[in-house]
Structure 1
Amino acid sequence: MNGHLLWVFAIGPVLLAEALLARYEVLAYGAGWRAPTTELPEGVPYARGAAADRPPEAYLVYLDGIGKRRVRDTRDGGQLVRALLAGAPELRVLGQVQPYSPLADPLSDRPVWAWLRRRVGLLLFLHNVMQVFVAADHRYRPLYNRAVGSQIADQLRLAGYRPDSGIPVVLLSYSGGAQVATGAVDALHARLRCPLLLITLGGFHNGANDLAHATQLHQLTSAYDRIERVGTWIFPQRWRLFRGSGWNRARRAGKITVHRLDPATHLGPHSYISPESRLPDGRTHLDHTAATVIAVIRAGHDAPVATDRP
């Protein structure tokens, strides 16, 4: 028996266990067995950017892709958030939300996962992939949406947001974070009653969540993004045939605007957040993405950047 086959037999039971346990957090939340965590580690601010003693132009919550496993980390080491803070100092930015944990429990802080990370790091990503599909599953989706929506609302209030203030809240989501962002809309509307703008970057989501309480959704995408394209194929609610889905209702209402970031890819050295890959005009993909996000936020509903209607 070769080494690859032995690896499959060894890891198979672990993957099966993870598939069964992926639902635990959302069920524990629904049953009230555990309360979500709201405190952050020492030295981690609830938000960065505009000073807390004066209202910012908007609060931006960054919901990272499946690589998110602790409060501090992001897929690109925080480069996108830093670029947004440098280009738009009027924003107050939160990056600590745990989109793949209804209990707001960072994956890397759990003893078992810390041990696995040193030995089978791939499982950390597979855990979050499975959480995306739990969030998309119609049996668990309402609970998951309420849990993470409440987590975002709590973090916003701790960062200084006041309900009914009229200050916009922007949910910027990468990859699977879009499933969480679209699901958090109703909870944020109910708890904060805020103008809510969604920006998806290579968004991977099932299109089932209701976007009626979002003012607009800006879809940042690329013809070279295969992972986002897979999401539009595998989830029927993203197909135009399913006219009653939340995505298609929002499309007909004119709430979805597409922004092309070609030739960026979803992952790798040419990704949306690459600080090395450059466009013909000399800008990096990271510069292009950050500038597009800032332009969308500043322009509001009438963004004067190049767009295509879906």
Structure 2
Amino acid sequence: MKAAARLHPWSQRFNLKLLLLVLAIGLGINLVGLGHLALVVRSALSPADLLLLLQLIGLLLMVLIAAAGIYSLVSEFAFWEGWLQGLPAPGTLFDRGPPAAGSHRCYLVYLDGIHQLERDHPPRVSAFLELLEQQLAAEILLVRGLETYTVMPVALAEDAGSEWFWRRLFALQEQHPNGLVQLLAAVLVQANNVIKVGISSDRRYGPILNYELALKISLRLAEAGFRPDAGSRIVLTGYSGGAEMAMGVADYLRRITRAPVSIISFCGVFSGNQELHQLAGITTIVGSKDPVAAFGRIAYPGRSPLLPLSNWNKALAAGQIQRSLIEGMNHNGSHGPFSEAFRQRVIKAILAALDAPIAAPTQTGC
């Protein structure tokens, strides 16, 4: 009890922040289906039984989400201490010969939102990326299929310490006949990604996670042919929570690759707490009807104009940040950035950001 009391203030702050993120991002729940399911459950159970069921579900979610958060922190520490293998040392990443002839001048790295469960993106996202890739200039390479919310170069279901858990959870989400069980499994899977977004923005644990993810991205860039002495630049484009991951890894990636790094976010939910002054520019693409991205500006006080000395506001004052508004666009669904109604406008904004001059005058753009 004493130990619990000592941990209570810290856990309360952490869980409150996590809860707000979960509520804001929505975890991809279909509200219409959930409402129908609630009516069915309510008609089949008495009020007392329904209350007991809700209490049990809440307790289960609290325990499992907390366990996922603890495991995330422990896995970061284990890698940092050298107990896990899988990512190389920075000095050996690009020891693979000289740059290939005709190497790309710009590497556009896509970091997905919290809906990502594996290397393969959801169908709407895949269609969006294919359309984007078709419109990119020949010297720009789109790097996709990165698992944004695991630092090891394996799928979440292949993680050595937790694959048994994730495989069963994926099976429940995809195959269980009960809609409530499928919903709970989906919440738990995406809660893992929300926790990673929270850790990335945290000044205590974020640097470890962000450095490890920067190593993972660097490894993928090396496999794609990137070489530090080829004069290329790197652009991180992140959707929703992927924007926070991009902000977190950008400066580490710049140091590891010794190349200019810039960020393009769309519908981004991010803190702006990280080191941003050395980046080659930041472009935020936002929808006028996106409540999730708008909530992100409130949830993270460092983006408030009342704090002019925050990293975000200093970068804003230095002219490093450009904002592009798309009227009528929401965060997801039929009016989201991956919908047929808005995806071409988002792609046009991304292409414009790639063509824009970069913030650092001594560096060359895409």
**For residue 196 of structure 1, what is the aligned residue in structure 2?**
261
Higher helix share: 2
**For residue 10 of structure 2, what is the aligned residue in structure 1?**
none
Structure 1 residues 9 and 210, CA gap change in structure 2 (3 angstroms): closer
Q: Is structure 2 residue 171 aligned with structure 1 residue 118?
A: yes
Contact 2:234 2:260 survives alignment (8 Å): yes
Contact 1:67 1:75 survives alignment (8 Å): no
**For residue 61 of structure 2, what is the aligned residue in structure 1?**
11
**For residue 293 of structure 1, what is the aligned residue in structure 2?**
350
Deviations 1:73-99 (A, max 9, x none): 247341221011111142211112222
Q: Structure 2: how far apart are the matches of 1:73 and 1:226?
A: 23
Contact 2:61 2:188 survives alignment (8 Å): no
Post-superposition offset of 1:220: 0.3
State the TM-score, normalizing by the size of structure 2. Answer: 0.72
Structure 1 residues 138 and 118, CA gap change in structure 2 (3 angstroms): same
The secondary structure found in structure 1 opposite 2:124 is coil
Supply the AA of the counterpart residue of 2:145: Q
**For residue 175 of structure 1, what is the aligned residue in structure 2?**
240
1:131 paired residue among 196, 208, 221: 196
Structure 1 residues 166 and 17, CA gap change in structure 2 (3 angstroms): same
Give 1:38-53 correspondences, 5 Å limit.
Answer: 53=101
Supply the AA of the counterpart residue of 2:356: A
The secondary structure found in structure 2 opposite 1:172 is strand
Post-superposition offset of 1:298: 2.3
Please identify the structure whose Cα radius of gyration is greater: 2
Contact 1:66 1:125 survives alignment (8 Å): yes
Q: Structure 1: how far apart are the matches of 2:149 and 2:130?
A: 22
Structure 1 residues 165 and 245, CA gap change in structure 2 (3 angstroms): farther
The secondary structure found in structure 2 opposite 1:62 is strand
Structure 1 residues 28 and 105, CA gap change in structure 2 (3 angstroms): farther
Q: Structure 2: how far apart are the matches of 1:36 and 1:243?
A: 41
CA RMSD in angstroms, aligned pairs only: 2.0
Q: Structure 1: how far apart are the matches of 2:65 and 2:207?
A: 25
Contact 1:185 1:213 survives alignment (8 Å): no
Contact 2:119 2:155 survives alignment (8 Å): yes
State the TM-score, normalizing by the size of structure 1. Answer: 0.84
**For residue 273 of structure 2, what is the aligned residue in structure 1?**
208
Count of residue pairs brought into register by the alignment: 281
Q: Is structure 2 residue 141 aligned with structure 1 residue 92?
A: yes
Deviations 1:12-34 (A, max 9, x none): 32223223223122222211111
Post-superposition offset of 1:203: 1.1
Contact 2:250 2:262 survives alignment (8 Å): no
**For residue 310 of structure 2, what is the aligned residue in structure 1?**
245
Identity percentage of aligned residues:
25
Post-superposition offset of 1:202: 1.1
**For residue 56 of structure 1, what is the aligned residue in structure 2?**
104
Q: Structure 2: how far apart are the matches of 1:269 and 1:226?
A: 15
Unaligned runs of 5+ in 2: 1-48, 89-99, 173-184, 360-366
